[in-house]
């Protein structure tokens, strides 16, 4: 590993101080570092690169920040087969696994080859307008969400899987989630938590009008087409919670597995994935009630 891209969350607390330690450490190990412009400014150097140019120049990406920062970098990679190592600068993350307190020992492990590459399913999404226009969207790692605006009524979403009609959801919206995204909006809407190694995806309706509409798990090879059957409503499709496109009556959201997965560098011990789940989701913590609380 001789060429590394480094992208950080802008203005993250403690970022300049961390870069003052990290950049000399990487230079000492004969690693060339390609900083994006914002990270270069935080490091006090004018030598930075446009974000979109970095994936073609490097063998690995280091991401400093939280899971949201890593999601944006995953979209940036596109078809580049570059693994990502996530370094967490805030609260514990599912994707940015390495806290700064153990950063340098974990980096030593990576340089020594003591890591695994975990492949994460991504989606390729196209939006087909009624006019026939196709709006190709960036690959996403978490989810594709179709939902109404704050004042819109229930919307109708005709959903087809592999050319076969599944159902027409009458709901506030629909979440199509990867296993990675199962712990995000899908979970909040009642969807299952899926281990990231599973080859599957989840359809989770948001507040369905029909109570029998439940989340459904499908193979990762499933080809999903969702057609908006409601007119005169404020409806959007949102990718990874960060990119949004307005939808109109008759528009089709086409979702299928991307040609290449995202490659995530993992240095976790065997039980750390479940430890992160327990910590992040606060499993096992006692619920404290006031003494005079009723049952």
Contact 143, 178 (CB under 8 A): yes
> How would you classify the pairing of strands 98-99 and 134-136?
unpaired
Active site residue 240: no
Active-site annotation holder among 30, 38, 67, 240: 67
**Residue with tokens 């606060």, as numbered in its chain:** 282
Residue 45 DSSP label = -
Separation CA 117–CA 14 (nearest Å): 28
The rounded distance, in Å, linking the Cα atoms of 63 and 5 is: 8
Kindly give, in sequence order, each residue whose CB lies less than 8 Å from that of residue 120, ignoring residues fewer than 6 positions away: 141, 178, 179, 180, 196, 261, 262, 263, 264
Distance separating alpha carbons of residues 119 and 66, to the nearest angstrom: 19
Q: What angle do CA 244, 155, 161 make, to 5 degrees?
A: 80
What is the residue whose two structure tokens read 């005079």? 292
Question: Would you list the DSSP string of 228-277?
Answer: E---SS-EEEEETTTEEEEE-TT-EEEEEE-SS-EEEEE---TTHHHHHH
Catalytic site residues? Answer: 67
């Amino acid at each position: 590993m001789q060429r590394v891209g480094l992208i950080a969350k802008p203005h993250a607390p403690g970022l300049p101080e961390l870069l003052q330690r990290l950049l000399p450490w990487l230079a000492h190990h004969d690693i060339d570092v390609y900083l994006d412009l914002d990270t270069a400014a935080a490091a006090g150097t004018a030598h930075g690169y446009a974000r979109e140019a970095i994936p073609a120049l490097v063998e690995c990406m280091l991401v400093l920040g939280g899971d949201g920062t890593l999601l944006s970098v995953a979209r940036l990679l596109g078809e580049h087969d570059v693994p990502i190592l996530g370094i967490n600068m805030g609260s514990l993350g599912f994707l940015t696994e390495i806290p700064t307190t153990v950063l340098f020992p974990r980096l030593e492990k990576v340089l020594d080859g003591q890591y695994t590459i975990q492949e994460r399913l991504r989606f390729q999404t196209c939006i087909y307008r009624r006019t026939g226009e196709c709006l190709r969207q960036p690959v996403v790692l978490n989810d594709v969400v179709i939902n109404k605006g704050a004042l819109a009524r229930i919307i109708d979403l005709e959903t087809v899987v592999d050319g076969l009609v599944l159902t027409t959801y009458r709901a506030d919206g629909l979440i199509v989630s990867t296993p990675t995204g199962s712990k995000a909006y899908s979970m909040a809407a009642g969807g299952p938590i899926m281990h990231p190694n599973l080859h599957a995806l989840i359809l989770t309706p948001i507040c369905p009008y029909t109570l029998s509409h439940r989340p459904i798990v499908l193979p990762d090879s499933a080809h999903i087409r969702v057609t908006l059957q409601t007119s005169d409503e404020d409806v959007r499709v949102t990718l990874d919670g960060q990119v949004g496109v307005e939808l109109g009556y008759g528009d089709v959201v086409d979702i299928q597995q991307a040609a290449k997965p995202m490659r995530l560098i993992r240095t976790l011990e065997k039980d750390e994935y479940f430890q992160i789940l327990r910590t992040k989701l606060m499993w096992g913590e006692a619920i404290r009630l006031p003494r005079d609380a009723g049952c």
